[in-house]
Amino acid sequence: MNQRWLNLFFFLLLGLIAALFWHLLVYANTTAAAGLIIGILKPLNILLFLALFFVIVRNLVKLYTGRKARRTGFRLRTKLVLSILPLTLTPGLIIFFMATSFTDDMLVNLVIDSNVGQIVEQSEALSRQYLDEIHDLHTSHGGTVLRLNATASEEKLRDYLQQQNLEGVEILQGDVLQARIMADESNSLLRGRAEESFVRKNLYTAREAEPVSMPAAYRDGMLLLRFRYRLGDQYADFLFAKDTPFTQRFLYIRDSYAYLRYTQQETDEIRGLNNSILLVTTMVVIFLGIWIGMAFSSNFLKVMNQLITAAEDVSRGKLDTQVNLKSGDELDQVAGAFNAMTRTLNKNRAELQQKTQDLEAINAELTGHIQYSQAILEKSSAGLISTDDAGRVRTFNPASGRILGVTELAEGALLSEVLDGKRHRSLLKEWDSHQSRGFETVNSQVELSDGEHQTRYVSLSIVALKNEEQRYGALVVLEDLTQLLNAQKVAAWREVAKRVAHEIKNPLTPIQLSIQRIRRKAQNGKPDLHQAIESAHETIMSETNLLKNLVNEFSTFAKLPAPVKEEFRLDDLIRGVVDSYAPVYPDQVVGSDIGEGDWEWLGDPVQLRQVLTNLIQNAAQASAPGGTITVVLRRFAGRLRLSVEDVGVGVPSAEKEKLFVPYYSKSPKGTGLGLAIVKRIVEDHGGSIWVEDNEPKGTRLVIDLPPGS
């Protein structure tokens, strides 16, 4: 059955019972009417009880099956119903038992109190005796009225009625009305005291076979009685109306007696009806509690199901889901918050998708750059090694392993452990220097050789990878200069060979001319032959000495040995050279400027002394009398900086690059190999040399050496 029709039937039945009960209390003035209404109420109560019981059981079964099937919201619905049931059942049962007890007490009092019963019975007997006397008194005139009706005029009959205090008479022959006479049509006892329709109803209806009295009480206290007299087939109905103050009391006594008798006879019926009504009321309360819980949970779950469905849609990616609720309570705020959330999520997803597309484009671009960089690193001839702040290898390219001669270079290994202590000794020193000196940048040239393999000349750069806040590691750049240096050496020897040939050719020309002159003199028999021979001898000897010096310098340059390195104090070496050459050049001031610190150094002291000697000699030749020559020693960027400064005429910019070229010299007596030898010694020690202007005047020759070659 549809729930709506079931509810409609229930409320109609409840309304019918309430109407009958109200009619019983207000309008049921007779025991017959009360019995009829009670008789109707009993089955209706049973029917209503069964309907309520069915509805309650049906709802509880639905609740149980929903819980067993684990339908959505069964927990909430069960909690609501179980929470409301005690709130409705407890007061309902309390009222039921209290009302039942009250009714039982009332009925018991009515039955048990004999004094009240006797008073009501005696009062009813007195009132009935009074009415019977009036009935007997007036019905004795029936025969006279019938005779007067047959023999006398209507006026005489009316006078007789007035004499006997009768208000009217109706004479019937069988069922046929023969006469209807009122004693006084304008009697004030009837005018305005009762509606005429009621008077005529009591006077002209009902054809009882026996006389019956019908008292009726009105608001003004008039007693209305109706009697019947029978003679053969004729009837005389009399209407007696009397204004008396006892009318209301007579009616009250009669009704009280009737209700008393009915109550005493139908106590169990009344108790059962009352209990059934109270039980139905209790069932109604229970039903309303369950119905309210079910209705509230249904409405709430309807809203929750919408929210759950919307949430599931959102979980599936439908972020444009909106919930349309008009519950009129705080759930609207929940729906509004949910809709605001989905709008925000949808907006954020759109922004995220846009950012994702941008990031994908950037990632594609970065991937291209990375692939391009990796391709460059793979094909680069320079070795690149990056480390973290702990010195572990992070990235490297094939060239780095090839230059270092290492096959076990792997990511995560410590660089200091990967490098060989013998072969990579100079590189390890530079690496340790980089770490010990606060990760300063290192730029130097190192030799990689263990005495058994080919020596590699490598340009080394170590740069710290850091920002303003922290250091990430280091980048080691290795460039193999072996082939370049070999090519430079070949080119240099070619240049040397050309210059040696040129320098040898220069003295051979005067020797050749001197010999040719002697020959001509001898052939011609010139008397100055002896003088020509002496002159030629001087020329030939001079040029021969020049050739001898040239060959010696070249031999020194060509046979320059590898440095024999040992530990010595560089500052002591400088002071010794300065002290030795100060007396040699008394016209110049030869001095030194050595910074503070530990100047212990690893190198060849003999070759380095030769370097300082050549540089001081060149400075003395370029300086005028009274000039100063200063040897300066400092530390710069973690390396040693050695310079020889003078205040001479300086070197033009165009000639600065030619100073270290073999056989380049502006001095007529110079061979041009001194600075070339200096450069080679410096480079053999892993350093570099260059020339720059000395402010405000003169020249500065600068030598950059590693901290511990």
HEC readout, 585-626:
CCCCEEEEEECCCCCEEEECHHHHHHHHHHHHHHHHHHCCCC
The answer to whether 171 and 146 are in contact (CB under 8 A) is yes
Q: Are strands 628-636 and 688-693 parallel, antiparallel or unpaired?
A: unpaired
- pLDDT band of residue 431 (cuts 50, 70, 90) is confident
Structure tokens at 523: 């052939």
CATH node for 135-258: 3.30.450
Over residues 522-558, the pLDDT tens digits come to: 777 777 777 777 777 777 787 777 777 667 666 666 6
Structure tokens at 590: 């030869």
Give the whole-angstrom CA distance, residue 510 versus residue 488. 34
- What is the structure's pLDDT at 41? 53
Bigger pLDDT: 456 vs 91 = 456
> In one letter, which amino acid is 676?
A
What value does the mean pLDDT take over residues 356-380? Answer: 84
Question: Which DSSP state fits 452?
Answer: S
The yes-or-no answer to whether 135-258 and 380-476 have a common fold is yes
Give the whole-angstrom CA distance, residue 42 versus residue 32. 15
Bigger pLDDT: 99 vs 39 = 99
Give the whole-angstrom CA distance, residue 44 versus residue 48. 6
Give the whole-angstrom CA distance, residue 31 versus residue 17. 19
* Structural element, H or E, at residue 390: none
Indicate if the pLDDT at residue 433 is higher than 80: no
Q: Which residue has the tokens 């009762």?
A: 194
Mean pLDDT of the chain: 71
- What is the structure's pLDDT at 676? 78
What value does the mean pLDDT take over residues 253-260? Answer: 62
What fold characterizes domain 486-558?
A: Helix Hairpins (1.10.287)
Indicate if the pLDDT at residue 679 is higher than 80: yes
Percentage of the chain beyond pLDDT 70 is 52
Indicate if the pLDDT at residue 187 is higher than 60: no
- pLDDT band of residue 290 (cuts 50, 70, 90) is low
- Residues 6 or more apart whose CB falls under 8 angstroms from that of 536 comprise 514, 515, 517, 518
The answer to whether 161 and 181 are in contact (CB under 8 A) is yes
Q: Which of 380, 424, 429, 420 is nearest to 400 (CA)?
A: 380
CA dihedral angle for residue 280, residue 281, residue 286, residue 288, rounded to 10 degrees: 110
Give the whole-angstrom CA distance, residue 145 versus residue 166. 11
Most confident residue range from 214-228, 245-259, 347-361, 443-457: 347-361
Give the whole-angstrom CA distance, residue 303 versus residue 335. 9
Mean pLDDT check: name the lowest of 331-345, 553-567, 623-637, 694-708: 553-567
> In one letter, which amino acid is 162?
Q
Indicate if the pLDDT at residue 507 is higher than 50: yes
What value does the mean pLDDT take over residues 638-655? Answer: 83
CATH node for 566-705: 3.30.565.10
Residue 288, Cα to own-chain centre: how many angstroms?
44
The answer to whether 233 and 146 are in contact (CB under 8 A) is no
Give the whole-angstrom CA distance, residue 227 versus residue 207. 11
Neighbours of 295 (CB within 10 A): 12
Over residues 102-161, the pLDDT tens digits come to: 655 555 555 445 555 566 666 667 667 766 777 776 667 677 777 677 677 777 777 777
- Residues 6 or more apart whose CB falls under 8 angstroms from that of 538 comprise none
Question: Which DSSP state fits 30?
Answer: S
- What is the structure's pLDDT at 102? 60
Q: Which of 117, 450, 435 is nearest to 264 (CA)?
A: 117
- What is the structure's pLDDT at 302? 73
- pLDDT band of residue 633 (cuts 50, 70, 90) is very high
- What is the structure's pLDDT at 632? 92
Indicate if the pLDDT at residue 255 is higher than 70: no
Indicate if the pLDDT at residue 620 is higher than 70: yes
HEC sequence for 684-706: HCCCEEEEEECCCCCEEEEEEEC
The answer to whether 593 and 632 are in contact (CB under 8 A) is yes
The yes or no reply on domain 380-476 and CATH 3.30.450.20 is yes
What value does the mean pLDDT take over residues 94-100? Answer: 65
Structure tokens at 408: 């076990």
Indicate if the pLDDT at residue 399 is higher than 50: yes
663 Ramachandran zone, left/alpha/beta (phi>0; psi -120 to 50): left
For the entire predicted model, the pTM comes to 0.37
Q: Are strands 589-594 and 628-636 parallel, antiparallel or unpaired?
A: parallel
Mean pLDDT check: name the lowest of 296-305, 470-479, 583-592: 296-305
- What is the structure's pLDDT at 314? 80
Mean pLDDT check: name the lowest of 382-391, 650-659, 677-686: 650-659
Structure tokens at 39: 């008789």
Bigger pLDDT: 435 vs 607 = 607
Bigger pLDDT: 322 vs 230 = 322
- Residues 6 or more apart whose CB falls under 8 angstroms from that of 676 comprise 557, 660, 661, 662, 663
In the chain, the largest separation of any two C-alpha atoms, in whole Å, equals 236
Give the whole-angstrom CA distance, residue 254 versus residue 213. 13
Q: Which of 665, 657, 674, 663 is nearest to 496 (CA)?
A: 663
Give the whole-angstrom CA distance, residue 87 versus residue 99. 19
Upstream peptide bond of 696 is cis (omega within 30 degrees of 0): yes
- pLDDT band of residue 278 (cuts 50, 70, 90) is low
- pLDDT band of residue 419 (cuts 50, 70, 90) is confident
Domain boundaries, the chain: 3-112+267-305, 135-258, 380-476, 486-558, 566-705
Mean pLDDT check: name the lowest of 275-289, 368-382, 507-521, 618-632: 275-289
